[in-house]
Amino acid sequence: MKLINLNKLFYIGILIYLVYASSSAFASTASPAALSYLIQEAVQSNPQIKAARERWLAAKDVIPQSRSLPDPKVDLGYIHMTGNNPMDVDPRREQMIGVSQEIPFPAKLYVRGKAATLDAKRIEAEYHTIRLTIIAQLKRIYYDLYLVNKSIEIFQNNQLLLDKIERSARVNYSVGKAPQQDIYRAQTEISRLLMRLVMLRQERASLEADINRLLNRPLDITISTPSKLSITPLGFDLNKFYRLVDLQSPQLNAQQKNVEKSNQEIRLSKLDYYPDIEIGAGRLRDTAMGTQGYQVMLTATIPLYFASKQNYAVREKLARYNADIEDLYSTHRDLSFQVKNAFLLAQRSAQLIHLIQYTIIPQATLTFRSSQANYGVGKVDFLTLLNNLLTLQDNELELHGEIVQHEKAIAQLEEITGVTL
């Protein structure tokens, strides 16, 4: 009677799980799943990429502004003067109209334009960095989603095997070849498997929402993944990846442009020791006397307080330049480490994939099938059979986990170097 009640509870639990799983499967709308399609959509729609692109366009518009002269000024004036002399019956009335233009010291506009150009190139490199970062982030989430889907597939297949094992245990128990605990243990493993499936389905929904977030679209769109993930070859040796970092890395390029811009700012601060000038010309007319004429003016700034102003400005720019150089060296070291680490991870995963796929899994499969056949005739105990199944399950999960780790390492190499492998 106790066995019958437990069996009822067990199958009621399975029925509840199947209802939940089927309702979750139709909760959202399917979406194209090709990774290349998702990448293309992310590049077009991701808000961070679009914002970085707009910042780049804005920086390009700064260049002509920095090279332009200040706006000219129009001067209008009127003078009305009278004296205390009673004989002065014709007071002075003068009208004046003129224009003036401020002209920075030669080379200032050129250096400002060059600094603005370098800043625009830095922001362009930052745009490419953000673009590559979003693509790499999308790939990592997509690979995690693939692993979750493969895990669900493996657990569902093993659920069928456990159901078969549970039936075999029931038959063996009925003829006295197996203890009752074999049935309970099989049912417990099925229940634990169902628990893991519930957790994986939640994780899958979260990963799908994360992908949709990057693509700037509704979060409840379902993302499917391929049945098998192809292995991307490394393509280059480690030294080649180091050279790619030096030549093509957008992150390193942004730091290099920042150093070059700081150098131009030092040059510009030194030009502030020289005066700027302002030239003006105007027309004068005395309405009382009926006379008219003109005036020409030249005004110059005098860097009188250079000891407390220009000197410190140069020191400030030099300090910022030195800091930018240190940031450049630090970025180069960090990127080189990341490249080496990702390269080694990809190599390790490739070796493990080959070992697990062609050696360990075939061995584990043969072991499980042998124990499954022998359990039916009472030559192998239940715990051995169950352990062999769980070992095979772990090996299959490890295989797909290493595939995902390999592709994540490839994605990191692409993110750093800017090269598509």
Place of tokens 């000891």: 307
Average pLDDT over residues 130-138: 96
Return d(Cα 271, Cα 179) in angstroms, integer.
Answer: 94
pLDDT score for 403? 96
Q: What element of type H or E holds 13?
A: helix 2-25
Return d(Cα 158, Cα 161) in angstroms, integer.
Answer: 5
In this predicted structure, the answer to whether residue 283 has a pLDDT above a threshold of 60 is yes
Average pLDDT over residues 372-391: 86
Question: Are residues 253 and 125 in contact, defined by beta-carbon separation less than 8 angstroms?
Answer: yes
Residue-wise pLDDT for 22-51, tens only, equals 444 433 334 445 899 999 999 999 999 999
Average pLDDT over residues 158-176: 86
pLDDT score for 284? 84
Residue 412 CA neighbour count, 13 Å, CB half: 19
Average pLDDT, the chain: 87
In this predicted structure, the answer to whether residue 247 has a pLDDT above a threshold of 80 is yes
Tokens of 219: 């979060």
Nearest Cα residue to 98 out of 78, 68, 114, 80? 78
In this predicted structure, the answer to whether residue 278 has a pLDDT above a threshold of 80 is yes
- Please give the C-alpha separations between residue 357 and each of 29, 244, 362, 405, in angstroms, as whole numbers: 34, 32, 7, 15
Q: Would you call 222 helix, strand, or coil by DSSP?
A: strand
The pLDDT > 70 percentage for the chain reads 88
Nearest Cα residue to 137 out of 39, 244, 234? 39
Residue 87 CA neighbour count, 13 Å, CB half: 0
pLDDT band, very low/low/confident/very high, at 292 (cuts 50, 70, 90): confident
Model confidence pTM above 0.75: yes
Return d(Cα 240, Cα 296) in angstroms, integer.
Answer: 65
Return d(Cα 276, Cα 315) in angstroms, integer.
Answer: 21
Q: For the chain, which domains are there?
A: 2-80+91-417 (1.20.1600.10)
Return d(Cα 364, Cα 370) in angstroms, integer.
Answer: 10
Supply the DSSP symbol for 358. I
Return d(Cα 334, Cα 352) in angstroms, integer.
Answer: 27
φ and ψ at residue 228, rounded to 5 degrees: -145, 135
Q: What element of type H or E holds 101?
A: strand 92-103
Question: Which range among 21-30, 108-117, 158-167, 340-349 shows the weakest confidence by mean pLDDT?
Answer: 21-30
Residue-wise pLDDT for 11-20, tens only, equals 445 444 444 4
pLDDT score for 124? 96
In this predicted structure, the answer to whether residue 365 has a pLDDT above a threshold of 80 is yes
